[in-house]
Amino acid sequence: MTIRIAPSILSADFGILAQQIAAVEQAGADMIHVDVMDGVFVPNITIGPLVVAAARRATRLPLDVHLMIVSPERHIDAFARAGADILTVHAEACIHLHRTLQSIRDLGKQAGVAFNPATPIDCLEPVIDLVDLILIMSVNPGFGGQQFIPSALPRIRAARSIIDGAGRPIHLEVDGGVGPATAAAVKDAGADLLVAGNAVYGTTDYAAAIKAIRGA
Ligand code: DX5
Ligand code: ZN
């Protein structure tokens, strides 16, 4: 299985964001993970479509946009226009998950669905035909640099078996506390897209950090 690494710009220096994105592209990143937080769904506030558009200008890599916001259906059009390639909404934030995933697809983007550590993933089955990415949170969303929650591992395995049953490629992404020490377990459980914030941007050698996570 090809393992992809998506550095999260949440841990980057926003004063020099374009350089920070170019640096991880140069260092071997496969995607750029962009954490959008609204101060309501999660306690923190980060960025909106304007910064996604700036990120779009800084790289040719796919932009993997993780929407940690309430009522994401109100904003998917703006993020799509800003240049997102993947738009991931939280299952907990969507009253009409099926409709929201369909809307993302209708905009020509890949649709992802994310799950907080305590959320059952059984809502996947009825929407699986509309899903291009499943995101299992391995921390409670809101901040970078938190500790990996081990109960994510059986949930990654369960998501992997749903994907295997779907019979077409769906990314299985894991986000939170992923680094050289946790990456092997995450991959063994079946993940193929690893988000890493602190484990990349918290180091001085991004290429070595990405290599260490990929090869763990
Ligand atoms: C957490 C975000 C993550 C965060 C991960 O709410 O969704 O993408 O940047 O950061 P690390 O890898 O430092 O745990
Ligand atoms: Zn994220």
Pick the CATH number of 4-215 from 3.40.190.290, 3.30.559.30, 3.20.20.70, 3.30.200.20: 3.20.20.70
Q: How far, CA to CA in Å, does 206 sit from each of 16, 34, 74, 102?
A: 15, 17, 35, 36
Q: What are phi and psi of 66, to 5 degrees?
A: -100, 105
CB distance 144 to ligand 1 below 6 Å: yes
Catalytic residues, which ones?
A: 35, 175
Sign of the alpha-carbon dihedral angle for 17, 19, 24, 28: positive
- Total length of the chain: 216
Ligand 2 center–CA 32 separation, angstroms: 10
CB distance 175 to ligand 1 below 6 Å: yes
Ligand 1 center–CA 142 separation, angstroms: 8
Q: What is the pLDDT along the chain (216 residues), one digit of tens a residue?
A: 899 999 999 999 999 999 999 999 999 999 999 999 999 999 999 999 999 999 999 999 999 999 999 999 999 999 999 999 999 999 999 999 999 999 999 999 999 999 999 999 999 999 999 999 999 999 999 999 999 999 999 999 999 999 999 999 999 999 999 999 999 999 999 999 999 999 999 999 999 999 999 999
3-state secondary structure of 170: coil
3-state secondary structure of 57: helix
**Neighbouring residues of 204: CB distance < 8 A, sequence distance ≥ 6:** none
Give the Cα separation of 113 and 179 in Å (integer). 22
